[in-house]
């Protein structure tokens, strides 16, 4: 095979889409120190790639101890919510070119949940709040011999809140939750909404009472951080308002 000329190699380099980007990652390893610290990594990356691709390059090529969660890599599983340039986002849905790669890209764990290592937090309190609102269809008797029918209009009533992927970007961006992790948080309320407003469900009243708690919906101060953070575009604050209204009117 012919050896490429210097000119050809320079041409190829000029055409390369790769740029050098600094990832500034907040590292924490309780086996080494009680303190978290920032660490910089420089990588070559195509700006059309995602923050998750950058984290993979670091983990696979530079430092295998870097710890983070990810699974689907396509915005479905909700496992890679993290704070990127100070805002909660999914690493797999955030393109490098969209977050000003000329400056260091800061990456840290989501707030309000205990950091276990690097970008991994303990999600158990988050999932406990989710379990507490009974996120499943409750029906009594009249077992159907086929699917439970529902009009398109009734289905539309809770369509938005069915999109939740339980990523915790909303709950971990809520100042009320930062101050008091006992608050159910927006994600649990979104998932309660999904069943409260489902015409086939028969436990709406029970769920409303669960959220009528000192740690329930009334803690929400309508700051909209949750709506801004949701990678699925769910109108989280609106859903919380609807649950509050249902509690007052008992109509849902
Ligand atoms: Fe994530 Fe949105 Fe669900 Fe909150 S409501 S957990 S931000 S998908
Ligand atoms: Fe928190 Fe969202 Fe309410 S950010 S205060 S749950 S509007
Ligand atoms: Fe599944 Fe990002 S890895 S949502």
Question: Domains of the chain by range and CATH?
Answer: 15-121 (3.10.20.30), 124-139+151-249 (1.10.1060.10)
Residues of the chain whose pLDDT is less than 70? Answer: 1-4, 6, 9-10, 12-14
Decide if 139 contacts 195 (C-beta within 8 A). Answer: no
Tokens 């109509």, residue located: 251
pLDDT of residue 62: 98
pLDDT of residue 6: 67
Dump pLDDT digits (tens) for 41-88.
999 999 999 999 999 999 999 999 999 999 999 999 999 999 999 999
In this structure, what are the phi and psi dihedrals at residue 47, rounded to the nearest 5 degrees? -60, -15
Using CA atoms, how far apart are residues 132 and 115, in angstroms rounded to an integer? 23
Give ligand 2 pocket residues (Cβ under 6 A): 174, 176, 186, 220-226, 236-237, 240
Decide if 238 contacts 211 (C-beta within 8 A). Answer: no
SS (H, E, C) 24-82: EEEECCCCCCCCCEEEEEEEEECCCCEHHHHHHHHHHHHCCCCCCCCCCCCCCCCCCEE
CA–centroid distance, 43 to ligand 2, in Å, is 36
Which numbered atom of ligand 2 lies nearest the CA of 185? 6
pLDDT of residue 177: 98
pLDDT of residue 67: 98
């Amino acid at each position: 095979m012919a050896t490429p000329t210097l000119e050809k190699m320079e041409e190829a380099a000029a055409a390369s889409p790769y740029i050098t980007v600094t990832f500034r990652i907040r590292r924490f390893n309780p086996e080494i120190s009680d303190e978290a610290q920032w660490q910089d990594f420089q990588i070559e990356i195509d700006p059309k790639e995602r923050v998750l691709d950058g984290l993979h390059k670091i983990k696979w090529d530079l430092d295998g101890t870097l710890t983070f969660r990810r699974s689907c890599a396509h915005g479905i599983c909700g496992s890679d919510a993290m704070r990127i340039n100070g805002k909660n986002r999914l690493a797999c849905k955030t393109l490098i070119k969209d977050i000003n790669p000329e400056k260091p890209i800061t990456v840290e764990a989501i707030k309000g949940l205990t950091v276990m290592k690097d970008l991994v937090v303990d999600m158990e309190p988050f999932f406990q709040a989710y379990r507490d609102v009974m996120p499943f269809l409750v029906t009594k008797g009249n077992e159907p011999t086929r699917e439970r029918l529902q009009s398109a209009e009734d289905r539309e009533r809770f369509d938005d809140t069915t999109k939740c992927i339980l990523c915790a970007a909303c709950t971990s961006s809520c100042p009320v939750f930062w101050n008091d992790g006992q608050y159910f948080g927006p994600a649990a309320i979104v998932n309660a909404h999904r069943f409260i407003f489902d015409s086939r469900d028969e436990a709406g009243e029970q769920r409303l009472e669960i959220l009528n708690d000192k740690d329930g919906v009334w803690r929400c101060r309508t700051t909209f951080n949750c709506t801004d953070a949701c990678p699925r575009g769910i109108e989280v604050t609106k859903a919380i308002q609807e649950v509050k209204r249902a509690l007052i009117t008992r109509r849902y």
